Chains A and B, each alone.
Chain A
């Protein structure tokens, strides 16, 4: 589904990603871990098409298409979804209005009829249950004054509404209380299918108890320096990143 080859990206001339290689197949869950500032959010942003990042080398193939050639909105319409680490607020625009615009533009791109108000609301009701989303939040301005946890939950709710093929969750677990973590993870699991895949960026093994990854990758200094199974996350939890940093630094000398 997604092939990333030797991806290099920089911001304002500073290289951040320095040769990422990753292969993701339908049905898989990949966890990406790594120290602060290692480039995890950058990778997510580059995949989603954020302008500020300049791709200097490499390629990304998504469902047979060159992802880097597509505008961000077209990537979304093709099925790439990013749950943001820091969701933005849009004053005066209700979540409902926002989502209806989004859902119908995505549907139009996919050659589907727009959802009428009744259909849209019933879909919304159904998906709200998935993450136990409070109805009241949806009539408020998008993310405005939402608590940290509410914002994260709203991201997953939007994901449910947009039915992506590839979801990238950037630290969706941070800010969630223990119950919310379970609920949100549950939601993500229910959305999982043999046709979809996820990239889960997290600092904590705890999330991976709920969303069980097929692979765990460690990003350090803009490269994936170690990949393994779920056990790697446990090992990191126990030992931290120093041993990996040492391995890498010794190897590069």
Chain B
């Protein structure tokens, strides 16, 4: 075995760090999926009738839909009747504030390096922690509410701000948008809601941390972010899951609404359990994320670092409806072992002078398959639309694959669309050069990979960027070929 292969071998054999699970008493729905289960979930959450009706309508639509097969991913059919659609840690009563949360649950988050204790959180990041199906606590609520910012769990928002939920739920991702979005609309359990009123710049990062703990439970979160005129918010999402032999389904929906002059930055560091090195277990991550730049001069920016999941199917998109609006997509997707990722973005230019920028950096190692799928659509009315896409692939070893599927649809002749793509391998020359300067192969790979992904990592808020760098290093670090 050559040294390069050895290095790759070492990286691929690295264990997933967050693979532990905790036993706690849970409130669970019976296994299976039908109208009664949906009613059960809705009742559990004491939802208003209109929301139950909405769920049931989505369910009806879903029954008529087919699982999509166009993505470049292969996995055994998921038996959706064998899943549980709701599991929540049992708490005697609903916690009113953080002090009332079960210490055992807080410990789960401490162990992940996330403190829900406000005093301890010096960096000034407000966190909403979601465990299995429900939000267990949100920090800094009071500080934020003084500015009129709402940041709470989705269920709470349904109770406290029904008019906002009613107005925006499904307005960006219609319930029948696609198979998984429809499923989510029927059974979604919890997630985060965030509302920034006109003229407010949110003074801290808002962050949701998703953790799957229970076995055989699908996780279907719903995130909704509404930024009113002239507002700004930066939102972070982090995810981990325990190591289990069976695959677990995760099908979330994220909707972002940006009004006039509003700016929303959405960053994800996704580290779901990727499966073991033989491809056993892992999360199936089928997510629909979409934002609409509804108002003029608004901006939505997606940044994602995808390192986990056995199968990823995810295309954070922007609908550029307002004139002069801007959409951005920065992505690093790493696949190792037997992971499969089909990810990318859609930029839909509707307004005049709309701009979009796509920077996608794929890194594949082991036997993994990494696909970029991007669509740039310029509608008739969108004069002077601009798009720039840069799609790079980095290969480590010779058993993995990188694929690029760009789709371009232009209906206005004033559009300017540029697409650049490169594929490279981490060279033996680069690795040897680092070694010759005294740098170990592991660190050399980390350096090279982080250098390659720099443009994307630079988009992340500081604390997240550091975490993401470590994660990249941990997930593969070494690549040569």
The reply to whether A93 and B450 form a contact with Cβ atoms under 8 Å apart is yes
Chain A window 156-185, contacts with chain B (Cβ cutoff 8 Å), 1 for yes, 0 for no = 001000100000000000000000000000
Q: Known contacts A88-B427, A91-B452; decide if A101 and B436 are in contact (CB<8 Å).
A: no
With the chains together, A93 CA to B449 CA distance in Å? 9
How many residues of A sit at the interface, in one of the four size bands?
20 to 34
The reply to whether B438 and A93 form a contact with Cβ atoms under 8 Å apart is no
The reply to whether A98 and B443 form a contact with Cβ atoms under 8 Å apart is no
Q: Which residues of chain A are near B433, meaning CB under 8 Å?
A: 84, 87-88, 90
The reply to whether B437 and A92 form a contact with Cβ atoms under 8 Å apart is no
Q: Known contacts A51-B2, A88-B430, A93-B447; decide if A76 and B452 are in contact (CB<8 Å).
A: no
B212 to chain A minimum Cβ distance, whole angstroms, is 33
Chain A window 45-58, contacts with chain B (Cβ cutoff 8 Å), 1 for yes, 0 for no = 00011111000000
Q: Which residues of chain B are near A105, meaning CB under 8 Å?
A: 438-440, 443
Q: Which residues of chain B are near A149, meaning CB under 8 Å?
A: none
Q: How many residues of B contact A (CB 8 A)?
A: 26
The reply to whether B439 and A50 form a contact with Cβ atoms under 8 Å apart is no
Any chain B CB within 8 A of the CB of A38?
A: no
Q: Which residues of chain A are near B439, meaning CB under 8 Å?
A: 73, 101-102, 105
Any chain B CB within 8 A of the CB of A141?
A: yes
Which residues 196-220 in B have Cβ within 8 Å of A in the complex? none
With the chains together, A185 CA to B453 CA distance in Å? 37
Any chain B CB within 8 A of the CB of A106?
A: yes
Any chain B CB within 8 A of the CB of A27?
A: no
Q: Which residues of chain A are near B452, meaning CB under 8 Å?
A: 91-92
Chain A window 84-115, contacts with chain B (Cβ cutoff 8 Å), 1 for yes, 0 for no = 10011011110001110111011001000000
With the chains together, A88 CA to B437 CA distance in Å? 12
Among the listed B435, B448, B450, B454, which residue makes an inter-chain contact with A76, where contact means beta carbons less than 8 Å apart?
Answer: B435
Chain A window 69-83, contacts with chain B (Cβ cutoff 8 Å), 1 for yes, 0 for no = 001110111000110
The reply to whether B428 and A73 form a contact with Cβ atoms under 8 Å apart is no
The reply to whether A98 and B447 form a contact with Cβ atoms under 8 Å apart is yes
The reply to whether B428 and A72 form a contact with Cβ atoms under 8 Å apart is no
Which residues 169-227 in A have Cβ within 8 Å of B in the complex? none
Any chain A CB within 8 A of the CB of B162?
A: no
With the chains together, A93 CA to B426 CA distance in Å? 13
Among the listed B428, B437, B448, B455, which residue makes an inter-chain contact with A51, where contact means beta carbons less than 8 Å apart?
Answer: B428
A71, A72, A102: most-surrounded residue (chain B CB, <10 A): A72
Any chain A CB within 8 A of the CB of B36?
A: no
B4, B429, B434: most-surrounded residue (chain A CB, <10 A): B434
The reply to whether B447 and A101 form a contact with Cβ atoms under 8 Å apart is yes
Q: Known contacts A51-B2, A84-B433; decide if A77 and B447 are in contact (CB<8 Å).
A: no
The reply to whether B438 and A90 form a contact with Cβ atoms under 8 Å apart is no
B429 to chain A minimum Cβ distance, whole angstroms, is 5
A30 to chain B minimum Cβ distance, whole angstroms, is 19
Closest Cβ neighbor of A164 among chain B residues: B438
B478 to chain A minimum Cβ distance, whole angstroms, is 13
Chain B window 1-31, contacts with chain A (Cβ cutoff 8 Å), 1 for yes, 0 for no = 0111000000000000000000000000000
The reply to whether A50 and B432 form a contact with Cβ atoms under 8 Å apart is yes
Q: Which residues of chain B are near A90, meaning CB under 8 Å?
A: 430, 433-434, 447-448, 451
A74 to chain B minimum Cβ distance, whole angstroms, is 8
With the chains together, A109 CA to B437 CA distance in Å? 12
With the chains together, A150 CA to B458 CA distance in Å? 27
With the chains together, A75 CA to B3 CA distance in Å? 16
With the chains together, A49 CA to B453 CA distance in Å? 29
Q: Which residues of chain B are near A91, meaning CB under 8 Å?
A: 451-452
With the chains together, A162 CA to B448 CA distance in Å? 20
The reply to whether A141 and B438 form a contact with Cβ atoms under 8 Å apart is no
The reply to whether B438 and A73 form a contact with Cβ atoms under 8 Å apart is yes
A125 to chain B minimum Cβ distance, whole angstroms, is 20
Any chain A CB within 8 A of the CB of B42?
A: no
Q: Which residues of chain B are near A48, meaning CB under 8 Å?
A: 432, 436
Any chain A CB within 8 A of the CB of B387?
A: no
The reply to whether A72 and B447 form a contact with Cβ atoms under 8 Å apart is no
B10 to chain A minimum Cβ distance, whole angstroms, is 14
B203 to chain A minimum Cβ distance, whole angstroms, is 29
B4, B427, B440: most-surrounded residue (chain A CB, <10 A): B440
The reply to whether B437 and A93 form a contact with Cβ atoms under 8 Å apart is no
With the chains together, A72 CA to B439 CA distance in Å? 9
Closest Cβ neighbor of A86 among chain B residues: B429
Q: Which residues of chain B are near A71, meaning CB under 8 Å?
A: 435
B103 to chain A minimum Cβ distance, whole angstroms, is 39
Q: Which residues of chain B are near A162, meaning CB under 8 Å?
A: 437-438
Any chain A CB within 8 A of the CB of B441?
A: yes
B457 to chain A minimum Cβ distance, whole angstroms, is 9
The reply to whether A82 and B436 form a contact with Cβ atoms under 8 Å apart is yes
Chain B window 99-127, contacts with chain A (Cβ cutoff 8 Å), 1 for yes, 0 for no = 00000000000000000000000000000
Closest Cβ neighbor of A48 among chain B residues: B436
Q: Known contacts A52-B428, A101-B443, A105-B440; decide if A92 and B454 are in contact (CB<8 Å).
A: yes
The reply to whether B441 and A73 form a contact with Cβ atoms under 8 Å apart is yes
A101 to chain B minimum Cβ distance, whole angstroms, is 6
A161 to chain B minimum Cβ distance, whole angstroms, is 9
With the chains together, A247 CA to B328 CA distance in Å? 69
Q: Which residues of chain B are near A93, meaning CB under 8 Å?
A: 447-448, 450-451
Q: Known contacts A91-B452, A92-B454; decide if A102 and B429 are in contact (CB<8 Å).
A: no
Closest Cβ neighbor of A159 among chain B residues: B437
Q: Which residues of chain A are near B450, meaning CB under 8 Å?
A: 92-93
Q: Which residues of chain B are near A72, meaning CB under 8 Å?
A: 432, 435-436
Q: Known contacts A51-B2, A51-B428; decide if A73 and B451 are in contact (CB<8 Å).
A: no
Question: Can you add 18 more A-B contacts, CB < 8 Å, to A73-B438, A93-B451, A101-B439?
Answer: A48-B432, A50-B432, A51-B432, A71-B435, A72-B435, A73-B440, A76-B438, A84-B433, A90-B447, A91-B451, A92-B454, A98-B434, A99-B437, A105-B438, A105-B440, A105-B443, A106-B438, A141-B451
List chain B positions with a Cβ less than 8 A from chain A. 2-4, 427-430, 432-441, 443, 447-448, 450-455
Q: Could you pull out 22 A-B pairs where Cβ atoms are within 8 angstroms? A: A49-B435, A51-B2, A52-B428, A72-B436, A73-B435, A76-B435, A84-B433, A88-B430, A88-B433, A90-B430, A90-B434, A90-B451, A91-B451, A92-B451, A92-B454, A93-B447, A97-B447, A98-B437, A98-B447, A99-B437, A141-B451, A162-B437
List chain A positions with a Cβ less than 8 A from chain B. 48-52, 71-73, 75-77, 81-82, 84, 87-88, 90-93, 97-99, 101-103, 105-106, 109, 141, 158, 162
Nearest 8 CB-CB pairs, A to B? A92-B451, A93-B451, A72-B435, A102-B437, A106-B438, A76-B438, A92-B454, A73-B435
